[in-house]
Amino acid sequence: MFDLKDKVSLITGGNGGIGEGIANGFADFGSRVAIVGRDEAKCKKAQEKIINNGGEAKYFLCDVASYESVKDCISEVNNEFGSIDILVNNAGTTIRKAPHDLSPADWKAVMDTNLTSVHYFSSIVFNQMKKKKSGKIINIGSMFSIFGAAHVPVYAASKGGVVQYTKSCAIAWAEFNIQVNSILPGYITTNLTDGFRKNFPEDAELVTSRIPAGRWGVPSDLAGTAIFLASSASDYVTGTSIPVDGAYSIR
Ligand code: NDP
């Protein structure tokens, strides 16, 4: 039921952090994994790790914020692996500034990476999934899909958008047997949160004290939920957003 054997998955930002945790989990369950990112050294390392563990993976360089780059990347994945069965829109970034300090360029950079890219990938891959009458799309949101955040307002706006876009695609594409869901990670130890932990240790401590599970998550904590949403076990689950957060969001 959870088998991903021979399924082709494409994971944006699969070369590090949460995306790599999901990529490793998918490979363990038999998927042929397309790792998508910009940093070639990180891509090579993530690819090697999967291959060394007996899995199948190949990396593809892409800037997810560029429509041309996304189109080219999907064509390359199709040429290498065939059509895409599972799409994980995970690549993300943030800028820590109050709303009144955000420049138009700041706003665009975060929205393009976190939200517009989700539309670019989903709308192109949809055509392949529609033909097969089958597909799984998993979008990575955040605790800030739920909460506001004075210090990362554009990040929160983008992640709120991810959840609404997820619901909209789920409704639009249900008739084609395409399931679209989000995962909302809590506080996970990755490059993205390293700066926060280093530069704001007291705030980071406050976060830790507020997590009922008593610890920050690690990238592999996300793999199980992603495997569920990528597999036939979730064929009647669509449009939902699942927090994977050690109960942070219900406190
Ligand atoms: P990382 O910084 O470790 O990973 C971000 C990934 O996104 C990198 O692999 C990076 O690849 C890729 N990426 C960023 N911009 C682009 C771009 N323009 N084109 C292609 N790839 C890009 O952070 P996380 O693993 O923590 O973040 C993954 C997702 O999880 C993000 O969407 C983030 O918002 C979300 N998230 C993270 C949380 C956490 O606590 N860590 C909590 C909630 C949500 P490269 O280095 O090659 O550019």
Is the pTM for the entire model greater than 0.75? Answer: yes
Q: Which amino acid would we find at residue 27?
A: A
Burial of 63 (0-12, 13-18, 19+ CB in 10 A): middle
Tell which atom from ligand 1 comes closest to the C-alpha of 12.
21
Q: Give catalytic residue positions.
A: 155
* 192 close to ligand 1 (CB < 6 Angstrom): yes
Tell which atom from ligand 1 comes closest to the C-alpha of 189.
41
Tell which atom from ligand 1 comes closest to the C-alpha of 187.
40
- Predicted local distance difference test score (pLDDT) of residue 53: 98
Helix (H, G, I), strand (E, B), or coil: what is residue 235? coil
* 182 close to ligand 1 (CB < 6 Angstrom): no
Burial 25-42, CB ≥16 within 10 A → b, else e: bbbebebbbbbbbeeeeb
* 142 close to ligand 1 (CB < 6 Angstrom): yes
Instruction: Tell the residue nearest (CA) to atom 2 of ligand 1.
Output: 192
Q: How far is the CA of 90 from the centre of ligand 1 (A)?
A: 6
* 158 close to ligand 1 (CB < 6 Angstrom): no
Candidate of 121, 192, 203 to mutate for ligand 1, largest count of ligand atoms within 8 Å of Cβ: 192
* 122 close to ligand 1 (CB < 6 Angstrom): no
Instruction: Tell the residue nearest (CA) to atom 36 of ligand 1.
Output: 142
Question: What are the structural domains of the chain?
Answer: 8-250 (3.40.50.720)
- Determine the Cα–Cα distance for residues 129 and 59; give it in Å rounded to an integer: 21
Tell which atom from ligand 1 comes closest to the C-alpha of 144.
43
C-alpha torsion sign, points 70, 71, 77, 82: positive
Counting every residue, how long is the chain? 251
> For the chain, which ranges sit under pLDDT 50?
none
* 19 close to ligand 1 (CB < 6 Angstrom): yes
- Determine the Cα–Cα distance for residues 116 and 122; give it in Å rounded to an integer: 10
- Predicted local distance difference test score (pLDDT) of residue 68: 98
The upper half-sphere exposure of residue 133, i.e. CA atoms within 13 Å in the direction of its Cβ, equals 1
- Determine the Cα–Cα distance for residues 18 and 226; give it in Å rounded to an integer: 11
